[in-house]
Chains A and B, each alone.
Chain A
Amino acid sequence: MPEIEPASPGIVESSIHLPPEFTRSHRQVIHRYLSGQESLSGDDWPLLIQAMDMLRQATVVRDGSPEAFAAIYDRLVDAAYSDSLIEQLLRLADPESESELLRAIISRRILTDLRTTGLWKADAPDSQLLVAFCLYWWQMFVRGYAFEVAVYRDLVDSRVVYVAHDLRNRQTRLSGHDLEVMGFRGDVKTSTYFAWTRRTEMLDLDFYITRMYHVKARRWYRVVWLRPQFWRVLNGEPMPVAYEAIWQVLPGVAQIVLRGREFIVVLYDVWKGRVIARQV
């Protein structure tokens, strides 16, 4: 339900409007995610993703002017902190682990900014959803780029020849692909990022360097998904398998179908070794 405040002299009148499809179930799953008291189930994740997607269209109306949560995030978080965060990530020795401290520090600044701009107010309880929205996307941003920086650093250390977009430049950072290896275009993204932001896109690129979580092994694997045309250049026989059974084939070379398209899934180190062998 929209939160309407009484008008007061000298105080900006504001209200929060949530999309009508946003239900109590969405609120519950965001709450469970933030509180961290229990792991989300397989059914919870799609609901959480749907909830956060819906909140992009939620608006704060102040003095009659609406501003979407997504626009507030762009203005108050992305424009203010993303460039400096990237600069700092590039200077870290171990971006993936050390970035957590940066994430926390800037998260607290975001909270302060939301408070001082009057966007998060005690007497507007649904402004808590804006706080959750901003903190979640900021977390996604930091972890995603920490992973990307770590991969580039490893590629350099491994003497893999590649061309990557300039992370320091916001325009090139948003380019259609992140890097090129052997003339093939690819992206570097965490699997969480895929689940959140790329699922409605076309999976057009030739390869994706990502990481996948293996529940039974309780660990992450850095992997590469390749289109067959890239894999053919690197050689090797993939094993066709349904994606639900991917871990039965890895660390072997798996071939899966996503949206009617074939992808080869291979451990990152295997892919890297084959690229180096071709480039030497």
Chain B
Amino acid sequence: MSGKLIGEMDDVEFEQMVEAFIERRAGPDDQIPAELVFAMLDKAEQPERVLGLESTLVGDRLVLSAPPGVAVPANIREVEVNLPGVRVIVSLTPITS
């Protein structure tokens, strides 16, 4: 080995390394300890997701609905609406009919 890193190696040397990688079957390189997987899942930053809802007045009721093609995650139990100076929490009640 020349001591050069990927992106610095000459073509022949890199091809030899890649060929060895292709030949190598699942082994130590695949063995991420379970505890580390859990830790990475637990500590990863979660991207903020935006869920756009539409509202309609039906009689005296405000009905929130997702636009066509947008799935509402099944675990959502509350919707938070931020208005200037006011934080509105709307609890969702499953339709049981």
Contacts and interface: CB of A to CB of B under 8 A. Distances in A.
Interface of A: 24, 27-28, 30-31, 33-36, 39-40, 42, 45-46, 49, 100, 103-104, 107-108, 111, 122, 125-126, 128-129, 131-132, 135, 143, 176, 185, 191-192, 194-195, 198-204, 212-215, 243-244, 246-247, 256, 258-259
Interface in B47-86: 47, 71, 73-75
Contacts of A195: 32, 36-37, 40-41
Contact of A204 (B21, B23, B34, B75): B75
Contact of B6 (A49, A122, A128): A128
Given A199-B41, A215-B31, A259-B42, 19 more contacts: A28-B5, A33-B29, A34-B18, A34-B21, A36-B21, A45-B36, A45-B40, A49-B40, A125-B8, A143-B26, A195-B40, A200-B47, A204-B75, A212-B34, A213-B34, A214-B34, A244-B35, A244-B39, A258-B41
Interface string B13-25: 0100110111111
- Label chain A's interface by main secondary structure: helix
A214 B32 CA distance: 9
A30 B32 contact: no
A204 B33 contact: no
B94 interface: no
Interface of B: 1, 5-11, 14, 17-18, 20-42, 44-47, 71, 73-75
Given A143-B26, A213-B33, A258-B38, A204 B73 contact: yes
Given A27-B5, A128-B14, A243 B42 contact: yes
Contacts of A33: 29
A256 B39 CA distance: 12
A42 B40 CA distance: 11
A104 B34 contact: no
Contacts of A36: 20-21, 24, 27-29
A128 B9 contact: yes
B40 A199 contact: yes
A30 B41 contact: no
A213 B31 contact: yes
B82 to A, nearest CB: 21
A212 B36 CA distance: 10
A185 B75 CA distance: 12
A45 B7 contact: no
Contacts of A100: 25-26
Contacts of B74: 185, 204
A135 B18 contact: yes
Contacts of A258: 38, 41-42
A185 B40 CA distance: 23
B32 A192 contact: yes
B33 A259 contact: no
